[in-house]
Structure 1
Amino acid sequence: MVLDRGLVFMSDTRTNAGLDNISTFRKMTHWEVEGERVLTLMTAGNLATTQAVVSLLDERTKAPDDREPSLLKAPSMFQCARIVADTLKDVIAKHNQSGMQASAFNATIILGGQIKGGPTRLFLIYPEGNFIEAGADTPFFQVGEMKYGRPILVRAYEPGMSFEEAMRLLLVSFDSTLKANLTVGLPFDYHLYAIDSLKIGPHGRIEKEDAYFETVSQGWGDALKSALHSLPLFSLEGSDGLAG
């Protein structure tokens, strides 16, 4: 999510291969050269693909030469997005070359951050290797299961909100999703990046027993019931099959 004051990232940690095979894996990765650049990457899709992409990107940041493009040496966030997109496309293509169905190994990635001298930028990267950038008309991106939590973001997002307000909004959105879909679950990882700080900001993990999340979840449910009950009832007077 893009705010006037920076970027907000949140990801769940649930992966599954059927209802009887549910695991927890971190889907958020950071790279930092304090004072020079901060990058945050989040993934959704096939776990083998996303882990291969993150591992390749990470290995290249540690390579002693420039034979492979590195996120820590790219001159701009746009070039970083190109590196991630090309890596994702190549990993999926190798699965296809080995005779496996490429669509089964699809993944989608969100990349955001800032490089010294440039603005904060946020990109949505597709498995085909192309990508789009967040802007005024599209100030936030979602990957994975999105249909249950998106309406809340559309209705309540404001660019001038504080990081604290943004965290509350995202937790309400995630809460609505996990209550409707078993493929999304706690814990949630988050990162709050302040513009021009050029260092990893407040970050952490919201666990299942987190007291604040339980308060938000319960409060949101109660508020929805209260709002529903406050609306006028539908009138059946004059409806077909009923006395007028």
Structure 2
Amino acid sequence: MTYCVAMRLDAGLVFLSDSRTNAGVDQVGTFRKMSVFDVPGDRTMVMMTAGNLSISQSIRQLVADYVSADGRSIWNVTSMFEAARLMGDVVRRVHERDAKALAEFGIDFNVSIILGGQIGAERCRLFQIYSAGNFIESHDENTYFQIGEAKYGKPIIDRVITPATSLDDAAKCALISMDSTLRSNVSVGLPLDLLVYEQGALAITHFVTIDQRNQYFQMIRNTWGDQLKQVFEGLDKPVWDAAPDTRDNVLHASTATAKPMRVPAPAGVAVATAPRVPLQTLAQQFTDGQQ
């Protein structure tokens, strides 16, 4: 499996991908999921993939070579929208060639793609492309896309990222999101590829491959975990059976009438009766223990 996340911000784009593939507990491999198509000064595009590795590698190679009937290619389209359409066309071509043969072996045609970048003077754009070749675009209301094992790393992004977030803060947030995923899912693994693109640069701004020795990522892993524990321990414990107007942090009000939904035993089924145990005070228990 994999986890990839990309963020579209006013300042540019941030991309982060892991490199683990998993076809079973004893078939774990390392394959990079991020590819860059760029002509410095004219265009920079980043592609990240999740799903069937053979499908995504076929798409990556074919999109680099593909020229449509009207002469369009990833190297000469004039907008990111056209680039996303062209990649969708390539996905469909791979589906036409491989899907039937895969199905005969019980394998689904499964691939997810994130494509983002900038062409010429156009603003940065970000797309998610599906197995059918259709796609959606990121806007201010939804500033990021995730593919693969997305659920573990989603909460921190939802709480932090807005279009105004700086590139450095977005990179930090992406790494925390990845760390949360690494801790909860063994099908995602190091090394990671992190790419930062600054709006208007038309060249890669920053790129790093992160392994277990990377100092910054180790700081993220240790500090984030420690500070989460401190925040957790600093939160008050819930208060039960109290009036909300008499104290704070009441979880269950003394006037509450809510009850759990109990399932009745079927007619004719013998129901055990718990023995009644007389209540004892702590003083009584201590006295009994001394006898």
Counterpart of 1:22, as a letter, is V
Question: 5 Å matches for 1:1-244?
Answer: 1-60=7-66, 69-98=72-101, 100=103, 104-237=108-241
Which one is further off, 101-110 or 159-168? 101-110
Q: 1:91 to 1:38 in 2, by over 3 A?
A: same
Matches of 1:96 and 1:127, distance apart in 2? 11
Q: RCO (CA 8 Å, sep 6+): is it higher in 1 or 2?
A: 1
What corresponds to 2:247 in structure 1?
none
Unpaired segments ≥5 residues, structure 1 = none
- Aligned residues between the structures: 237
Counterpart of 1:120, as a letter, is C
Matches of 2:12 and 2:115, distance apart in 1? 14
Offset, 1:237: 4.2
Q: In structure 2, the residue corresponding to 1:135 is in which secondary structure? A: coil
Contact 1:48 / 1:105 at 8 angstroms: preserved in 2? Answer: no
TM-score calculated relative to the size of structure 2: 0.77
What corresponds to 2:264 in structure 1?
none
CA RMSD, aligned part only?
Answer: 2.0
Which one is further off, 223-232 or 83-92? 83-92
Offset, 1:66: 7.0
4+ long deviations beyond 6 Å: 65-68
Which one is further off, 100-109 or 119-128? 100-109
Counterpart of 2:62, as a letter, is L
Q: In structure 2, the residue corresponding to 1:94 is in which secondary structure? A: helix
Which one is further off, 66-75 or 210-219? 66-75
Matches of 2:10 and 2:154, distance apart in 1? 20
Which one is further off, 159-168 or 90-99? 90-99
Counterpart of 2:150, as a letter, is M
Counterpart of 2:43, as a letter, is R
Contact 2:143 / 2:162 at 8 angstroms: preserved in 1? Answer: no
Counterpart of 1:133, as a letter, is E
Identity of aligned residues (%): 40
Matches of 2:17 and 2:42, distance apart in 1? 25
Q: In structure 2, the residue corresponding to 1:75 is in which secondary structure? A: coil
Unpaired segments ≥5 residues, structure 2 = 1-6, 243-251, 253-258, 260-291
Contact 2:109 / 2:131 at 8 angstroms: preserved in 1? Answer: no
Q: 1:19 to 1:10 in 2, by over 3 A?
A: same
Q: In structure 1, the residue corresponding to 2:239 is in which secondary structure? A: coil
Q: 1:67 to 1:160 in 2, by over 3 A?
A: closer
Counterpart of 2:42, as a letter, is E
Which one is further off, 146-155 or 199-208? 199-208
Counterpart of 2:92, as a letter, is K
Q: In structure 2, the residue corresponding to 1:43 is in which secondary structure? A: strand
Counterpart of 2:28, as a letter, is I
Offset, 1:32: 1.0
Q: 1:88 to 1:68 in 2, by over 3 A?
A: farther
TM-score calculated relative to the size of structure 1: 0.91
Contact 1:192 / 1:203 at 8 angstroms: preserved in 2? Answer: yes
User: Which has more radius of gyration?
Assistant: 2
